[in-house]
Amino acid sequence: MTLASDQNPDPIYPKDLLTTERPDKPWRIAQVKSRREKALACFLAQAEIGYYLPMYRRRQASEKRARYSLMPLFTGYIFFRGDDFDRHKAFRTNHIARVIEVKDPATLVRELLNINRALEGERAVYPVEFYNTGQLVRIKKGPLKDVEGIIVRKDRNFRLILSVSSIMQSISVEVDADMVESSK
């Protein structure tokens, strides 16, 4: 959904969602129907249900001027906190295809905090495919196009991959190599 910049929903509601403990409101992930992320976010805010919809700026094709749209970083997903009543209320919007129950909320919150920090920075952020070390991949362009291989190392890059394993999605953020260290 393309909206004017002042009509886009807030990416996070309420602002302290990622830092406040709410055992009565478990984390859930809504897999939404096509292009319904922003509409669901607007509904959740009106219903006072906490949500996180990370978005990035994407340039629109235009010959006359530079135009940008805010697009969902993880197409088809929105993270929200709600009890069973909130879950049912969200389902009734007809925006949701299914709800994924979060098995490890601590990991999800840590990953979302990392994503949020990257989005608040000055660097360009955009979605990329989710890859694991040991995964068989194929190079899709360049002189090695169609060569297949297994990922054996993901360091020494000038891009940091931040992942949300619950939905198997990742983003890439540009960073200098000396800005990265092991998290142990």
Give per-residue pLDDT as tens, 154-182: 554 434 455 667 888 765 554 443 443 33
Domain with 117 in it: what CATH number?
A: 3.30.70
Q: Which residues pair with 114 in a beta bridge?
A: none
For residue 43, tell me if it sits in a domain: yes
Give me the number of domains the chain comprises. Answer: 1
**37 falls within a domain:** yes
Round the average pLDDT of the chain to a whole number and report it.
80
Question: CA triplet 18, 23, 171: central angle to 5 degrees?
Answer: 30
Domain assignment present for residue 143? The answer is yes
Q: Between these two residues, 52 and 133, which has the higher pLDDT value? A: 52
Q: Domain for residue 151, yes or no?
A: yes
The 3-state secondary structure of 69-99, one letter per residue? EEEECCCCEEEEECCHHHHHHHHCCCCEEEE
- Closest Cα partner for 40 from 109, 86, 104, 102? 86
In this predicted structure, the answer to whether residue 14 has a pLDDT above a threshold of 60 is yes
Write out the residue range of the structural domain in which residue 74 sits. 12-179
Distance CA 57, CA 55 (A): 7
Look at residue 16 and tell me if it is in a domain: yes
Long-range contact pairs involving 145-148 (C-beta distance under 8 Å, separation at least 24) = none
Query: How many CA atoms within 13 Å lie on the side-chain side of 7?
Result: 6
Within a domain: residue 38?
Answer: yes
Distance between CA atoms of 171 and 163, rounded to whole angstroms? 6
79 domain-assigned: yes
> By percentage, how much of the chain surpasses pLDDT 90?
54
Q: How far is CA 24 from the centre of its chain?
A: 24
Is residue 92 included in any domain, yes or no?
A: yes
Q: Against a cut of 0.75, is the pTM above it?
A: yes
145: left (phi over 0), alpha (psi -120 to 50) or beta: beta
Give the pLDDT confidence of 27-72 residue by residue, as tens digits: 999 999 999 999 999 999 999 999 999 999 888 877 788 888 899 9
Alpha carbon distance, N-terminus to C-terminus of the chain: 40
